[in-house]
């Protein structure tokens, strides 16, 4: 790396973990599309690499880049965000207890409840904006506190510093899924978390063209265990994907600024719309945890959740009428997406839990892209009618 630790975000995004290729001067880290590495003599490797499941130079560059952006010591890259989540769960054993925030990504909820609960992991779902409820959910066998903030899709903002403190006092490891913010807007390690989890598929990748995940930690012990699980399970990404993510992190700060700016304009516009019942966006003063958001986020992100006046009929009409917003799951890409969590991303969440969380028929989730915001607003206005 040709920059030091004092470098700011935009400089790290472009340079951390990477330097021009010493043999050719190539400014971009090459795609080391190789599964194995030739050895000098048995057991005597030439550089640092022997087999690409264990490590690969393109992946190493991405790991160092993301670790620098999160202000962490170690990064590990996975084949998907859920693979990264699963790797953390593999640090636990049967009989261990997890406190999980009640409004997590649908796939995270499914992985905890449908896969790991069957292996003997105990789970308590908690509304982590209620600190008393979170404190009383802790047990002597609580080994992991899993936080996601802002939550999905109701965009509750959880106070990371307070929850990390509660988790640590109970002797648990604290992991924050930072996908919605990306390292540009929020750095959980600095707020007391032990591990940061990302779906690279979203803002970090940013172009809706690759699936990947990452874990970042500054704890040597945790990193060693995670590295062992990764080597043993093999949930590693392809090398081309690593290259795509490395290319994407170079523009992360520029894209995030525009996502935030556009989302805030969309949120303010819709808040004044007569056919919209409620807009949820952490940057609005009407947001119940606006103060927490201001304290721990450097910007309020690109996700906007709205409750339309009416029910499923009105939601359907909007989702079927938009032209620029694409009707699709996922989020965080340059193009704007719209979806219905009740039917799409959160269909795997049990109906009674959906109801409790407020994932209603009139709830529509927007991932505001970086198109011209006036075109986006006109598109939404036409669709809401
Ligand atoms: C998408 C997402 C995941 C899962 O990531 P994949 O890359 O799809 O496996 C986890 N957490 C959040 C918040 C997400 O949005």
Phi, psi (5° rounding) for residue 271? -60, -25
Residues 67 and 73: beta-carbon distance below 8 Å: yes
Residues 146 and 120: beta-carbon distance below 8 Å: no
Minimal-distance CA residue to ligand 1 atom 4? 81
Q: What is the pLDDT of residue 4?
A: 80
Residues 98 and 144: beta-carbon distance below 8 Å: yes
* Cα distance between residue 57 and residue 36, in whole Å: 12
Phi, psi (5° rounding) for residue 331? -170, 170
Among the residue ranges 165-169, 325-329, 347-351, 380-384, the one predicted with the least confidence is 347-351
Q: Does residue 201 have its Cβ closer than 6 Å to ligand 1?
A: yes
Q: What is the mean pLDDT of residues 339-360?
A: 90
Atom number, ligand 1, closest to the C-alpha of residue 108 = 10
**Look-up of token digits 């340059």:** 334
* Cα distance between residue 32 and residue 163, in whole Å: 41
Q: What is the DSSP letter of 158?
A: -
**Look-up of token digits 């979203």:** 202
User: CA separation (Å) from 350 to 108, 316, 354, 355?
Assistant: 13, 21, 6, 9
Q: What is the mean pLDDT of residues 159-169?
A: 98
Minimal-distance CA residue to ligand 1 atom 8? 81
Is the pLDDT at 249 greater than 90? The verdict is yes
Q: Does residue 112 have its Cβ closer than 6 Å to ligand 1?
A: no
Strand partners, 7: none
* Cα distance between residue 334 and residue 257, in whole Å: 12
Side-chain half-sphere CA neighbours of 18 within 13 A: 26
Q: What is the mean pLDDT of residues 358-362?
A: 95
Q: What is the mean pLDDT of residues 319-324?
A: 98
Residues 190 and 170: beta-carbon distance below 8 Å: no
**Look-up of token digits 């609005």:** 284
Among the residue ranges 45-59, 178-192, 205-219, 346-360, the one predicted with the least confidence is 346-360
Q: Does residue 211 have its Cβ closer than 6 Å to ligand 1?
A: yes
* Cα distance between residue 93 and residue 99, in whole Å: 15
Is the pLDDT at 255 greater than 60? The verdict is yes
Q: What is the pLDDT of residue 344?
A: 93
* Cα distance between residue 350 and residue 355, in whole Å: 9
Cα 35 to ligand 1 centre (Å): 27
Active-site choice (96, 102, 103, 177): 177
Q: Which two tokens stand for residue 118?
A: 């069957």
* Cα distance between residue 44 and residue 24, in whole Å: 25
Q: How confident is the model at residue 28 (pLDDT cuts 50, 70, 90)?
A: very high
Total-model pTM: 0.97
Q: What is the pLDDT of residue 2?
A: 63
Is the pLDDT at 5 greater than 80? The verdict is no
Query: Strands 142-148 and 173-177: what pairing?
Result: parallel
Of 254, 238, 303, which is closest to residue 13 (Cα–Cα)? 254
Cα 230 to ligand 1 centre (Å): 18
Atom number, ligand 1, closest to the C-alpha of residue 84 = 9
List of domains in the chain = 9-249 (3.40.640.10), 252-384 (3.90.1150.10)
Note the pLDDT tens digit of each residue in 121-137. 999 999 999 999 999 99
19 CA to centre of own chain: 27
* Cα distance between residue 38 and residue 64, in whole Å: 24
Active-site choice (156, 202, 255, 354): 202
Q: Does residue 103 have its Cβ closer than 6 Å to ligand 1?
A: no
Active-site choice (12, 78, 103, 105): 105
- Measured over the CA atoms of residue 123, residue 70, residue 185 and residue 62, the dihedral's sign is negative
Cα 119 to ligand 1 centre (Å): 22
Q: What is the pLDDT of residue 349?
A: 83
Q: Does residue 296 have its Cβ closer than 6 Å to ligand 1?
A: no
Select from 77, 82, 103, 182 the residue to mutate for testing ligand 1; criterion: most ligand atoms less than 8 Å from CB.
82
Q: Is 169 assigned a catalytic role?
A: no
In this structure, the number of other CB atoms found within 10 A of the CB of residue 360 comes to 17
Atom number, ligand 1, closest to the C-alpha of residue 213 = 7
Q: Does residue 107 have its Cβ closer than 6 Å to ligand 1?
A: yes
Minimal-distance CA residue to ligand 1 atom 9? 81
Q: What is the pLDDT of residue 1?
A: 54
Cα 151 to ligand 1 centre (Å): 12
Is the pLDDT at 212 greater than 90? The verdict is yes
Q: Is 356 assigned a catalytic role?
A: no
Phi, psi (5° rounding) for residue 76? -135, 135
Q: What is the pLDDT of residue 219?
A: 98
Cα 1 to ligand 1 centre (Å): 29
pLDDT averaged over every residue in the chain? 96
């Amino acid at each position: 790396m040709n920059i030091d630790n004092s470098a700011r975000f935009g400089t790290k995004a472009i340079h951390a973990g990477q330097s021009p290729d010493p043999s050719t001067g190539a400014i971009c880290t090459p795609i080391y599309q190789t599964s194995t590495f030739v050895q000098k003599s048995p057991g005597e490797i030439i550089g640092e690499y022997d087999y690409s499941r264990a490590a690969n130079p393109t992946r190493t560059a991405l790991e160092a880049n993301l670790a620098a952006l999160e202000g962490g010591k170690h990064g590990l890259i996975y084949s998907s965000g859920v693979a990264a989540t699963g790797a953390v769960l593999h640090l636990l054993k049967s009989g261990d207890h997890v406190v999980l925030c009640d409004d997590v990504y649908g796939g995270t909820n499914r992985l905890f409840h449908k896969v790991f609960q069957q292996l003997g992991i105990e789970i308590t779902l908690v509304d982590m904006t209620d600190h008393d409820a979170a404190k009383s959910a802790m047990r002597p066998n609580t080994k992991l506190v899993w936080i996601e903030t802002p939550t999905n899709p109701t965009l509750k903002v959880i106070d990371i510093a307070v929850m990390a403190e509660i988790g640590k006092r109970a002797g648990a490891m604290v992991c924050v899924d930072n996908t919605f913010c990306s390292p540009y807007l929020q750095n959980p390690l600095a707020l007391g978390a032990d591990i940061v989890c990302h779906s690279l598929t979203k803002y970090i990748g940013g172009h809706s063209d690759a699936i990947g995940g990452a874990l970042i930690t500054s704890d040597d012990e945790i990193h060693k265990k995670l590295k062992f699980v990764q080597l043993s399970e093999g949930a590693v990404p392809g090398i081309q994907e690593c290259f795509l993510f490395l290319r994407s992190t170079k523009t992360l700060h520029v894209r995030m600024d525009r996502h935030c700016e556009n989302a805030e304009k969309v949120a303010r516009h819709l808040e004044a719309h007569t056919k919209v019942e409620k807009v949820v966006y952490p940057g609005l003063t009407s947001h119940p945890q606006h103060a927490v958001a201001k304290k721990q986020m450097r910007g309020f992100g690109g996700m906007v959740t709205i409750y339309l006046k009416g029910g499923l009929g009105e939601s359907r009409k909007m989702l079927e009428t938009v032209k620029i917003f694409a009707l699709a799951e996922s989020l965080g890409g340059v193009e704007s997406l719209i979806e219905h969590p009740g039917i799409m991303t959160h269909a795997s969440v049990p109906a009674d839990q959906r109801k409790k969380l407020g994932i209603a028929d009139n709830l529509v989730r927007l991932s505001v892209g970086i198109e011209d915001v006036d075109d986006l607003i006109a598109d939404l206005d036409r669709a809401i009618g």
